[in-house]
Amino acid sequence: MVNCHTSSLAALGVFVLSHIAYAQNPPAKVCTDGECSNCPSGVTEGGNGYPSCVVYNSQDVFSSGSFKPAQGGGYAVYFDIAEPESGCSTIIKSPANTDVTGCGSTIGAYKHATCSLLDVKDTFMVQYCCGTGDCTSAGSGSKRWWLGALQDRSTPGISGMKFTSPNGSVIQPVQVGEMPSQPSKRASDLHQSFNGLIKRDSCSKWTADSGMEQYTRPSDNTSIVATGVNGGTGGSSVQITHERSQSWTTSISAGLSFDVFSANMEFSMTQEVSTSKAYTFNVPAGQSGNVGWTATLTCSTGNIECKDGTYHGEVCTPTQDDDEPAGTYNVIATS
């Protein structure tokens, strides 16, 4: 017999009811027009116990309809979002991949019904979640959230969604799985977790895994750097002066100091980079919400040899562009 806390059962009940509701009224359909009246595809499956990440190639879903290309590549798609149950949200991520924290970058987070235009990259996924915490706060306009925050399986009600084609058949996803369970630790977290950090003379060698010597990837978190933007009918621009910052990160939970890695990595490392320099962001026509900024990291995965043992994991440093943190901006639609 499985014992569950009453609060967990109550929250789970909310999700089960939500699943029953959207079984007849899907939480999201993909449409070609601003009124969300021509919607070739919609969610067909998903629910309690379903994998949290169901990733699609955008071409498999959008190439058969009259979807227009987005200016920056991919497709311009109107998402018809049904009204979620209280405490629930519909989340859209693109690009998406089951190997990255959060399974992708959030481009839409909806607590209410809407017809929302999004630029969808080569891959995407839709999630439906219920419960308190980061599922709810993903669309609340908070200044920062983990893109992988929905990975907490103790929070009931996180489900990926499958889509149907215009003829009613199920479109098969390219990836299905759960979210990675642990984002990389930031430098500040390491200092709080260990009373004494291992010094640089205690470790002597970093050996990268084959093919993982040096690569770039998006940071695990996104900062909200502007709120309430609206592209209108012809597009608009906004000056972003909110501070953008990124620290070095590692997934190795052994109390290793920054000096240990900076002395042994094959690329130069920086503890933290920040900027408040004004940046002009162009808001695409038809899009509205908040502007998110995601730092770019330069990383390596491998082993560090120390006096007390060998540790394996990922080490990342902020990627820089003219002495400023490199990163990407995108509109995160909300309702």
**Could you read off the pLDDT of 145-177 as tens digits, one per residue?**
333 333 333 344 678 888 888 787 888 999 998
Residues 206 and 105 in one domain: no
**Closest by Cα among 237, 261, 241 to 314:** 261
Residues 329 and 260 in one domain: yes
pLDDT at 244: 94
**Domain span including residue 303:** 185-334
> Is the residue at 1 inside a domain?
no
* Pairing status of strand 244-247 against strand 28-31: unpaired
Hey, what are 272's tokens? 């933290």
Residue finishing a domain among 157, 177, 197: 177
> Is the residue at 136 inside a domain?
yes
Q: Which DSSP category does 135 fall into?
A: H
165-183 CB burial, b ≥16 within 10 A, e <16: eeeeeeeebebbbebbeeb
Contact indicator for 100, 180 with CB cutoff of 8 Å: yes
Residues 139 and 258 in one domain: no
pLDDT at 276: 94
pLDDT at 117: 92
pLDDT at 120: 94
pLDDT at 5: 38
Query: In sequence order, what DSSP letters do the residues of 291-335 get, joined into one string?
Result: EEEEEEEEEEEEEEEETTEEEEEEEEEE-EETTEE-EEEEEEEE-
Tell me how long the chain is: 335
Residues 160 and 256 in one domain: no
pLDDT at 310: 87
Q: How far apart are CA 118 and CA 36, in angstroms?
A: 13
Residues 84 and 149 in one domain: yes
Peptide bond into 95 cis (omega under 30): yes
Hey, what are 187's tokens? 């430098």
Residues 283 and 217 in one domain: yes
Residues 223 and 263 in one domain: yes
Residues 42 and 156 in one domain: yes
pLDDT at 26: 57
**Closest by Cα among 57, 50, 58, 60 to 27:** 50
187-205 CB burial, b ≥16 within 10 A, e <16: eeebeeeeeebbebeebee
Residues 245 and 115 in one domain: no
> Is the residue at 209 inside a domain?
yes
Q: How far apart are CA 170 and CA 16, in angstroms?
A: 22
Residues 288 and 200 in one domain: yes
What's the pTM value of the predicted model, to 2 decimals? 0.70
Residue finishing a domain among 177, 194, 214: 177
**209-235 pLDDT tens trace:** 999 999 998 888 888 999 999 999 999
Residues 65 and 203 in one domain: no
Residue finishing a domain among 144, 177, 210: 177
For the chain, list residues with pLDDT below 70.
1-26, 44-50, 132-157, 180-201, 254
Q: How far apart are CA 96 and CA 60, in angstroms?
A: 14
* Tally of domains in the chain: 2
pLDDT at 168: 79
Residues 149 and 207 in one domain: no
Query: Residue 216: phi, psi to the nearest 5?
Result: -115, 150
Query: Residue 207: phi, psi to the nearest 5?
Result: -120, 110
> Is the residue at 310 inside a domain?
yes
